[in-house]
Amino acid sequence: MLDVLIIGCGIVGTAAAHALSRYDLKVTAIDRLNDIAGETTRANSGLIHAGYDPEPGTLMARLNVRGSELTRQLCAKLDIPYKQNGAFVIAFDEGDKKVVEKLYQFGLENKVPDIEIISGEKARELEPRLSGEVICALNVPGAAIISPWEFAVALAETAARNGVTFKLGAEVTGIKAIDGGYSVATTQGEYKAKAVVNAAGLYAAQVHGFLQKPDFKIIPSRGQYYLLDKSAGNTVKRTIFQCPNELGKGIMISPTVHGNLLVGPSSENVDCPGDAATNAQTLAHVWKTAAKSIPGLNMRENIRNFAGVRANADVDDFIIREAAKGFFDLAGIKSPGLSAAPAIAEELVRLMQASGNALAEKAAFTDRREVVRFRYLDAEARAKIIAENPAYGRIVCRCESITEGEILDAFDSPIPPTTVDGIKRRCHAGMGRCQGGFCSPRIIDLIAKRHNIAPLDVLKDREGSYIVTGIKGVETP
């Protein structure tokens, strides 16, 4: 019997796996999809919020501020792209100004460091492209940007190196209480565990419902984005927010940690958790609204539109609790869930200890990770690494200068990718201006050879997302 079974391998589930891997426990993490970070985390804004937005006294507020600091520490240890770029929340009129003043007070109560309200003139000195209509801004120097899917993958890989087992493609179909724990039925067999962690995101209420009637509801909320080319990456240095409203934090404009510019998201409730479709009408609204913050944005620099679906709940706070003896909910983790994830995992450990679990730390724990990123090496370092391994001298993704060596490194990780997007999430291949137009055939070939499958069987991402199609019975070269 397992000590802990974690259901869900998004940012919350992988953070939980990482935190629990520090202890002498037998832990398995499962996910319905075929890779880590395949749902909400893969289409995330990548923002580490400083903690001025949540209402003081809530779990969300406390875990946001704590999680922001833990994220900074983890990114340094696990070699995850991270940049503390700061943020503005801008006001266009007196109504907005009152919101900014309220957020400032929230920030003070939540102990967010170094926040201040600055004039529109001062804001434009710091961000020259900012609209002349801005009358003031909340300046939040502690806000940061990261690569959310790389964060989740790094947490999972480190957990795996510390003994956690990951089983992907295992969708939960039932849960029942048994002597000493729970039996969890999945599409990949049955798991028995003393404790179960429900980190199922969009499906958290459904998973909870297998055991008992849920007292909360998940409301899927879709957000649509523009991703602009690196030629637009220096439009702003900071993340620029408009004032939040009942739909969320509002449409923002932000540099990404990889040098692009991100615009969005929209906020629209959808019936299906998997409905990540985009549409022209909503995207036009996103662009028009964003242009109010930064006039003159050039839509021709857009290289991709995408959408993510967030797990909003009908509860105004995170749902973090022991719902039944040994059954822990980590549910309703909407924004700032990415920022709070390490602190949510820390809270889980506290809850497990309070429930009577004696958690003994391992004598040996791996908390460091290094990744080769060829594009950031100087000429001397490039020459040295190519001499050691010629695969680093073969560029596969020309837009991002990603080498064959980096892709092979991904295959050799504890949780190797099996899809084109799995490669993308680990080493950034296919993320550039051509969006995989040139490198995808080579990546498909590498995946096929590594996993000993035909190119026709290589997936873009989820099950059924075949890239290459052919006529059955006709051999392909």
Q: Report the pLDDT value the prediction gives residue 250, as an integer from 0 to 100.
A: 79
Q: Report the pLDDT value the prediction gives residue 477, as an integer from 0 to 100.
A: 47
Q: Is 49 a catalytic residue?
A: yes
Q: Report the pLDDT value the prediction gives residue 473, as an integer from 0 to 100.
A: 47
Which residue in 49, 208, 258, 428 is the catalytic one?
Answer: 49
User: Rounded to an integer, what is the distance from CA 249 to the centroid of its chain?
Assistant: 17
Q: Report the pLDDT value the prediction gives residue 417, as an integer from 0 to 100.
A: 97
The low-confidence residues of the chain, meaning pLDDT below 70, are: 246-249, 470-477
Q: Report the pLDDT value the prediction gives residue 372, as an integer from 0 to 100.
A: 97
What is the longest distance spanned by two Cα atoms in the chain? 69
The position carrying tokens 């490039």 is 382
The position carrying tokens 């200890």 is 353
The identity of residue 396, as a single letter, is V
Q: Report the pLDDT value the prediction gives residue 320, as an integer from 0 to 100.
A: 98
Q: Report the pLDDT value the prediction gives residue 472, as an integer from 0 to 100.
A: 46
Q: In b/e form, how buried is each residue of 106-144, taking b as 16+ CB within 10 angstroms?
A: bbeebebeebebbebeebbeebebbbeebbbbbbbbbbb
Q: Report the pLDDT value the prediction gives residue 208, as an integer from 0 to 100.
A: 98
